Amino acid sequence: MKTKFAALVAAGVLISVGPAKAEDIKVGLLLPYSSVYASLGKDIEAGFRLALEHFGGDLGGNTVSIVKEDTEVKPPVGLAKAKKLVLQDKVDLMVGVVSSGVLGAIRDFVHGSKTPLIVANAGNNHMTGAKCSPYLIRVSFSNGQINRPMGPWLAKEGIKKVYVMAPDYAAGHQMIEAFRSGFEKAGGQIVGETFTPFRKTKDFAPYLTAAKATNPDAIYVFYAGGEAIGFVKQYASFGLKSSIPLYGAGFLTSPLYVHVQGEAADGVTVALHYVPTIDTPENKRFQADFMKQQGRIGSEFAVQGYDAGRMVVEAIKASGGDKAKFKDALSKVSFTGPRGPLKIDPATNNVVQNIYIYENKMQDGKIVQMIKGVSENVQDAVNGCSM
Ligand code: PHB
């Protein structure tokens, strides 16, 4: 005799129970909405939302909802907000973190809570090295990855003596270290360094005076956000631009604020994982729709948010919305986005991607980015990661 259940299945009534029920995937955006990196956080969010529009049309009935928290670029605040998102809001994953310092502060909590974090900016090398975690997946870059190609590049340009500068926190030290080691290996010499107080330095004049006194062939820096705007403008108004060429990690002249730097950014050469002038259909679509929505060019920060959003969407599609499978699917996603081909290295969970070297050039009253070199599929060493 058939059970009632079997009879219902036979009649086709219960067959629709088979597929997983539609889920709401709750995303916690953990970003700076105030302080020195506020504009970066807003750009990451704009990119994330654009990806949901571009790729999230058919999620098989599943939905994505967003809760936002402001890290204020302060490690203890970032940790408190991460705990709030996971424990109180019960998010399924977090996306964000701009500062390497904040990422360092929340790493153990992310790992212990088993709540995935898609890192959409912070480049802290250790987090995909000795402090790696299966729950920490980086779609942005590592600090070493961006700066490594620049040492040999400057040496090839005939530059022998370089002065280095950056804000005094994890990202500043790691970016400069990656440049330094490549430059010294290529025969270059670092003639001096300054690490300026992070989030507090508005006047770079005393530091620029010290740098100039060492008579370098070039100055190499990492600054981003509000500090980058101030630094590049003061470098020019201090009269250094005409005598000492300026190089750096590309956040220095991000399209997010290069129009504010204007003439002061002309001639500055940098390395970065994204350039708005990349000539591919994926990038053209991203830029056209970002421009339509925001009225400006999409920056590397917007692309990081966009690729994080696409990663979430692709993982929902691959897992059918099943939350346990969804977490595993995240790091297996690979695609060609605005910046080019992108995949997550299973040995470290850091992104593998192209790094572009480009010069900012003033043309018809606008800064344009002229690509001068590309290092393809740049992948970090395992650096002590075991997952
Ligand atoms: C970082 O702290 O890792 C960081 C912040 C801003 C950037 C890049 C890296 O533009």
Pocket probe mutation, ligand 1, options 102, 251, 256, max atoms within 8 Å of Cβ: 251
Contact in structure between 99 and 91 (CB atoms under 8 Å) = no
Quickly list DSSP for 35-72.
STTHHHHHHHHHHHHHHHHHH-S--TT-EEEEEEEE-T
Between the CA of 31 and the centroid of ligand 1 the distance, in Å, is 12
Q: What is the mean pLDDT of residues 178-197?
A: 98
Q: What is the pLDDT of residue 21?
A: 75
Between the CA of 98 and the centroid of ligand 1 the distance, in Å, is 6
Between the CA of 159 and the centroid of ligand 1 the distance, in Å, is 26
Between the CA of 175 and the centroid of ligand 1 the distance, in Å, is 9
Between the CA of 156 and the centroid of ligand 1 the distance, in Å, is 27
pLDDT at 123 over 90: yes
Q: Which domains does the chain have, with CATH numbers?
A: 2-141+278-344 (3.40.50.2300), 145-272+354-378 (3.40.50.2300)
Q: Mind spelling out the 3-state secondary structure of 16-44? A: HHCCCCCCEEEEEEEECCCCCCHHHHHHH
In short, whether 166's Cβ falls inside 6 Å of ligand 1 is no
Q: What is the pLDDT of residue 20?
A: 56
In terms of Cα–Cα distance, which of 96, 29, 97 is closest to 64? 29
Q: What is the mean pLDDT of residues 201-208?
A: 97
Contact in structure between 338 and 306 (CB atoms under 8 Å) = yes
Which atom of ligand 1 is least distant from the CA of 174?
3
Rounded Cα gap, residues 183 and 161, in angstroms: 10
What residues have CB less than 8 Å from 56, skipping those under 6 apart? 64, 309, 313, 316
Between the CA of 11 and the centroid of ligand 1 the distance, in Å, is 59
Q: What is the pLDDT of residue 178?
A: 98
**Closest protein CA for atom 7 of ligand 1:** 224
Contact in structure between 128 and 117 (CB atoms under 8 Å) = no
In terms of Cα–Cα distance, which of 143, 82, 73, 69 is closest to 108? 82
The share of the chain scoring above pLDDT 90, in percent, equals 93
In short, whether 123's Cβ falls inside 6 Å of ligand 1 is yes
Between the CA of 361 and the centroid of ligand 1 the distance, in Å, is 24
Between the CA of 380 and the centroid of ligand 1 the distance, in Å, is 17
pLDDT at 283 over 80: yes
pLDDT at 120 over 60: yes
Between the CA of 357 and the centroid of ligand 1 the distance, in Å, is 18
Q: What is the pLDDT of residues 333-349, one digit of tens each?
A: 999 999 999 999 999 99
Contact in structure between 105 and 75 (CB atoms under 8 Å) = yes
In short, whether 167's Cβ falls inside 6 Å of ligand 1 is no
Rounded Cα gap, residues 134 and 48, in angstroms: 22
Which atom of ligand 1 is least distant from the CA of 254?
10
Rounded Cα gap, residues 124 and 135, in angstroms: 15
Q: List helix spans (H) across 148-204.
A: 150-156, 170-185
Q: Are strands 246-249 and 189-196 parallel, antiparallel or unpaired?
A: unpaired
Tokens for 342, please give them: 């992108």
In short, whether 48's Cβ falls inside 6 Å of ligand 1 is no
- In 33-65, which positions are buried (b, 16+ CB within 10 angstroms) versus exposed (e)? bebbbbbbbbbbbbbbbbbbebbbeebeebebe
191 versus 18: the higher-pLDDT residue is 191
Q: What is the mean pLDDT of residues 87-102?
A: 98
Band (pLDDT 50/70/90 cuts) for residue 1 is: very low
In short, whether 171's Cβ falls inside 6 Å of ligand 1 is yes
Q: What is the pLDDT of residues 159-173, one digit of tens each?
A: 999 999 999 999 999
In short, whether 133's Cβ falls inside 6 Å of ligand 1 is no
Q: How far is CA 233 from CA 8, 88, 222, 317, in A?
A: 74, 43, 14, 46
353 φ/ψ angles, rounded to the nearest 5 degrees: -160, 170
Q: What is the pLDDT of residue 387?
A: 85
Q: What is the pLDDT of residues 95-106, one digit of tens each?
A: 999 999 999 999
Q: Is 101 helix (H, G, I), strand (E, B) or coil?
A: helix
In short, whether 73's Cβ falls inside 6 Å of ligand 1 is no
In terms of Cα–Cα distance, which of 242, 253, 265, 261 is closest to 356? 253
What integer best gives the mean pLDDT of the chain? 94
In short, whether 223's Cβ falls inside 6 Å of ligand 1 is no
Q: What is the pLDDT of residues 4-47, one digit of tens each?
A: 434 433 443 444 333 457 899 999 999 999 999 999 999 999 99
In short, whether 119's Cβ falls inside 6 Å of ligand 1 is no
Contact in structure between 299 and 255 (CB atoms under 8 Å) = yes
The Cβ of residue 160 has, within 10 Å, a number of other Cβ atoms equal to 14
Between the CA of 313 and the centroid of ligand 1 the distance, in Å, is 25
Q: What is the pLDDT of residue 321?
A: 86
In short, whether 283's Cβ falls inside 6 Å of ligand 1 is no
In short, whether 100's Cβ falls inside 6 Å of ligand 1 is yes
Angle, helices 170-185 vs 100-113, to 10°: value is 110
Tokens for 332, please give them: 């297996």
